[in-house]
Amino acid sequence: MNIARVVATRATCDRKHVGAVIVRDRCILATGYNGSVRGLEHCDEAGHMMEDGHCVRTIHAEANAIIQAARHGTSIENSGIYITASPCWSCFRMIANAGIRRIVFGEFYRDERIFTYAAKLGIELVDLTGSGGAAPP
Please say if 77 is a catalytic residue. no
Distance CA 75, CA 96 (A): 14
Write down the catalytic residue from 41, 62, 107, 112.
62
Q: 6: closest CA among 100, 105, 84?
A: 84
Query: Letter for the amino acid at 69?
Result: A
Element housing 132 (H / E): none
Name the residues annotated as catalytic.
Answer: 62
